[in-house]
Amino acid sequence: MKIDFPLDCLKDIPTPFYYYDIDVLDQTLHQLQREAAAHAGFSVHYAVKANANPRILQRIRQAGLGADCVSGGEIEAALQAGFKADGIVFAGVGKSDWEIELALRNDIFCFNVESREELEVINLLAEQMGKTAQVCFRINPEVGAHTHEKITTGKAENKFGIAMTDLESVIHLAMCLPSIRFIGLHFHIGSQILEMDDFKRLCFRINHLQDRLEAQGIVPQHINVGGGLGIDYEDPQAHVVPSFKVYFDTYAQCLRLREGQQVHFELGRAVVGQCGALISRVLYIKVGVEKRFLILDAGMTDLLRPALYHARHRMENLSAREEARSGEEEYDVVGPICESSDVFAQSVLLPESHRSDLIALLSSGAYGEAMASQYNCRRLPASYFSFDFQH
């Protein structure tokens, strides 16, 4: 992404805030849609949980994506942004009654159902409302992914999904329920996945399950493979847009689809991750016994990923870049929150930094603003867009 506006534009803007490069978002959406369209029957639903900023959602809706929601609030946000209800899928292991009723009332495309108990509740509520709920069953495929343990979702010990051993019985139950229409299978093995072999293993598992079902005369109309494609946090400038071609080609080559089957993808991080940066200001340079601490006015309340996942975001000192400073120092970059885990990175080399310097934490468009909190009674970060600084 490019943070190329003059820094004097920021003198009256309180930090921290999120900055979004709309050119990067548009470029990403264009390549995503182009590569998906190269394969018949492929459609993409944007995972709203990655970033629900209204202006971001509107841009994604304008590009023609559907929406993947995991709460009633996300369904409302998607509808308010103009997403068509027939392009909305509703996932989540704990859907409450009001959320289910909201989805039914708006005639969304389908529910990704995660348990027999949930299926029965959806049927009951749909029957009371005179509706028919289309459902895909989220199957736990027992496929591990090469990613952080807290963002892998396809193993037996995870809370998500229905066990493969229960697949046939839950499908047969759905076929007997009066207000349920079974339309497909749903899978998701994790997030920030960069190795295509993980997706290949998912394809092979889906192929096996499809063979098993077809032997019983069951051919789902829709196969939802989830999302999970990662981004380059180490060198975001070199890889602004993920390799959507390799990703979609992997599924096209490895999935054995039946005639007329549609394939759905639920991408979030890959869509918005690289278009966003958290802009923060240096409060203090604290010299410790053995370390130098660069203390920012942004903390884990603004960007939780480093504290939650030990994630690393590349940092750039915007003030040093503008002044062309030479020389580097090693810093532990930390925030102001009253928690020892409020650390963005340790032993980071940055240009010699000073109080009031502006620091950009790159690749923060996904799971940054969306996960912000008001812990310590802090204000939520504002958001600005590249066109806000155009003259």
Do 102 and 71 contact (CB within 8 A), yes or no? no
- CA atoms of 19 and 11, how far apart (whole Å): 15
Do 223 and 257 contact (CB within 8 A), yes or no? yes
- CA atoms of 232 and 36, how far apart (whole Å): 20
Residue 26: count other Cβ atoms within 10 Å of its Cβ: 14
**How confident is residue 160, by pLDDT bands cut at 50, 70 and 90?**
confident
pLDDT digits (tens, 9 = 90+) for 25-74: 999 999 999 999 999 999 999 999 999 999 999 999 999 999 999 999 99
At 255 the three-state DSSP class reads: coil
pTM: 0.94
Q: Is 7-17+274-389 a domain of CATH 2.60.40.10? A: no
**How confident is residue 5, by pLDDT bands cut at 50, 70 and 90?**
low
If you classify domain 22-270 with CATH, what class do you get? alpha beta
CA–CA distances in Å: residue 62 to residues 25, 82, 84, 89: 12, 9, 11, 18
At 324 the three-state DSSP class reads: coil
Nearest CA to 192 out of 239, 131, 151, 240 is that of 151
**Average pLDDT taken over every residue of the chain:** 93
- Sequence ranges of the domains in the chain: 7-17+274-389, 22-270
